[in-house]
Amino acid sequence: MSKVRVIQPFIGGGFGGTKNDSLAGDFCSVMFSRMTGRPVKFVYNMEEVLRTCRRRHNMIVYNKMGMKKDGTITAMQSRVIADGGAYTAIGPLTMYLTGCMSTLPYKLPNFKHDIYRIFTNNPISAAMRGHGVTHTRFAAEIQMDMMAEELGIDPVEIRLRNAITAPHETINKVTVHSCGLVDGIRTLSEHPLWKDRREERKEGREERKEEREERKEGRISRGVGISSTSYLGGARQRGHQSCAAVVRLCEDGTINYLTGATDCGQGSDTVLVQIVAEELGIRIEDVDIKRVDTAYTPCDAGSYGSRVTVLAGEAARKAALDVKRQLAAVASAIWKTGAEDIIFNDGQVYVKDSPERSMSFRKLSQIACYEGSGAVIIGKGYSGYGIEELDFDKGIGNSGTSYSFTSQLTEVDVDMETGFVRCGKMVIAHDCGRPLNPVNVEAQSQGAVIQGMGQSIYERFVMYKGNTLNPNLADYKMPLSTDVPEIEFIDIIAEDPNGPYGAKEASEGAIVSAPPSIVSAIHDATGIWFKELPVTPEKIVIAIKGENKKESLK
């Protein structure tokens, strides 16, 4: 393996699938290069990607939920049939996550889950952002809303009655050390978008009757939906899972930072550099991160399962602390004080409670490197969370080191004549622990909810006997920039003890919260529950016509 060298280029938009598995082209390019002794570039066009590459599992979910009259959940049973495609790939882990994460974000004293991954002639199914959780969480969230409506309980109230608080251990031994779920739900309940909806529900019967008549005339109907979800961060698996970092102090007081962690569009390079700079009390401009090159950089398990900030961040912080410890020893010898009293902050190094005894970080670096016989200061660190055995038969065990919680409001306008849905506004209340880079967290969450919107009302593969009939972006519909709604993002702070500076998974949970929130809003607008994604205009028109026919027969 040491004879294989991988040099990582700048890439973006890695959301599962092809980064979890090697594809045929990967091996063909390597073998052809070896045969010819020349560089080989293998490029898929869009049609080849949509026909042959990995995709999210298509699933049929049967869900049964028990609930008391006061809205307290007593039990849930689910059965899932998944289209695995022609090969196994990462499928078993996907299947595990569908059930493992179903016991969050609500208290669930009893749970039974059966899942079947079926081999078919379709393209191989693998991981996709929100890995395994989007399907079962959508089914459970919508079903809970249906039961709340039947019992006459407000959707916010039913979530607050069942929401977990930290510390919490689920029935399948998932341990939660921090949780901002309740704060997120309460924050959304006070938002004008939800308050306006609540006021509308207080209208008299005559007003609601007039609204229904307007719907029959093909008017635009507006609805607001809510959802609450959870997602794992710092994915735990068997095999090589350790992240490592090397931090070298340069003689001019700057830092060379080496990591095997790959930034595939999520902005992890920025966050990891921030962690090193924060620990040493210097500017991020003074930290130079090198491109991943397996000839020089430490080995890393990969960018998936929202693990980079949590685990590679832990390694980066430990490596920076190692450098800090060595520099503190030099400074303590100069000022005749304990190393624990040396403070690093804002490019300066000084003695605690004696700020007059200070020097610049650059000067201390020069002294440490050149004084006497000189020194080479290098720090190293690696993640040490260890492996927790996962019971794939019983679904027991922590799949992550920490868990984020996301609540979402969505406002939609539904054209009752054409079935066209337009998302007007989204409000996301996201608990990612402590956001290390708030701008990055917000931007990534915005991207996640738009992806969730795509799978809710746009995206689907049309299949016939294993053949993809819409392998192009004209027929495979995706949201355009003009379809993006107004998005408001709210940080819910719930620092986690297992993440660097209290950080947890950021943004992947937002792709899980989007579909149930959107479909709940469509129900609010139309009065019809949709249980199959995507909710296309055709499905809405057919359902409305069916409802109108029922009304006319009464």
* Among candidate residues 358, 382, 406, the one where a domain is terminated: 382
Residue 35 lies in a domain: yes
- Counting the structural domains of the chain, the total is 3
Identify the band that residue 386 occupies on the pLDDT scale cut at 50, 70 and 90: low
Residues in the chain: 554
pLDDT at residue 185 greater than cutoff 90: yes
Angle at 56 between CA 55 and CA 60, to 5 degrees: 135
Query: Which of 302, 268, 234 lies closest to 6, judged by CA?
Result: 302
Question: Do 314 and 383 contact (CB within 8 A), yes or no?
Answer: yes
pLDDT at residue 242 greater than cutoff 90: no
Residue 11 lies in a domain: no
Task: Output the pTM of the full model.
Answer: 0.94
Residues 41 and 141 in one domain: no
Distance CA 543, CA 553 (A): 16
**Does residue 505 have an active-site annotation?**
no
* Among candidate residues 342, 364, 382, the one where a domain is terminated: 382
Residue 78 lies in a domain: yes
Residue 200, pLDDT score: 80
Lowest mean pLDDT among 49-63, 201-215, 251-265, 286-300: 201-215
Residues 227 and 306 in one domain: no
- Per residue in 277-302, pLDDT (tens digit) is 999 999 999 999 988 999 999 988 88
Residues 439 and 317 in one domain: no
- Write the secondary structure of 254-273 as one string of H (helix), E (strand) and C (coil): CEEEEECCCCCCCCHHHHHH
Residue 402 lies in a domain: yes
Residues 465 and 481 in one domain: yes
Residue 547, pLDDT score: 83
Residue 12 lies in a domain: no
Pick the catalytic residue: 495, 505, 508, 532? 508
Angle at 397 between CA 240 and CA 56, to 5 degrees: 70
Sheet holding 354-360, edge to edge: 342-345, 348-351, 354-360
- Per residue in 394-450, pLDDT (tens digit) is 889 888 999 999 999 999 999 999 999 999 999 999 999 999 999 999 999 999 999
Residues 490 and 505 in one domain: yes
Query: Which of 549, 553, 14 lies closest to 265, judged by CA?
Result: 14
pLDDT at residue 384 greater than cutoff 90: no
Residues 430 and 306 in one domain: no
Within 13 Å of residue 3, how many CA atoms lie on the same side as its CB?
2
CATH number for the domain harbouring residue 365: 3.30.365.10
Residues 259 and 370 in one domain: yes
Residue 205, pLDDT score: 45
Residues 227 and 206 in one domain: yes
Residues 105 and 229 in one domain: yes
Residue 6 lies in a domain: no
Residue 199, pLDDT score: 85
Residue 186, pLDDT score: 98
Distance CA 472, CA 492 (A): 39
pLDDT at residue 268 greater than cutoff 80: yes
- Per residue in 220-229, pLDDT (tens digit) is 999 999 999 9
* DSSP, residue by residue, 484-523: --EEEEEE-----TTSGGGB---SHHHHHHHHHHHHHHHH
pLDDT at residue 80 greater than cutoff 60: yes
In this prediction, residues 244-258 reach a mean pLDDT of 96
Residues 427 and 460 in one domain: yes
Residue 550, pLDDT score: 75
Domain that holds residue 30: 17-52
In this prediction, residues 528-536 reach a mean pLDDT of 97
Residues 208 and 300 in one domain: no
In this prediction, residues 186-194 reach a mean pLDDT of 97
Across-strand partners of 400?
Answer: none
Residue 201 lies in a domain: yes
Residues 36 and 143 in one domain: no
Average pLDDT, rounded, for the chain:
92
Residue 100 lies in a domain: yes
How many whole angstroms from its chain centre is CA 216? 39
Supply the Cα-derived Rg of the chain in whole angstroms. Answer: 26
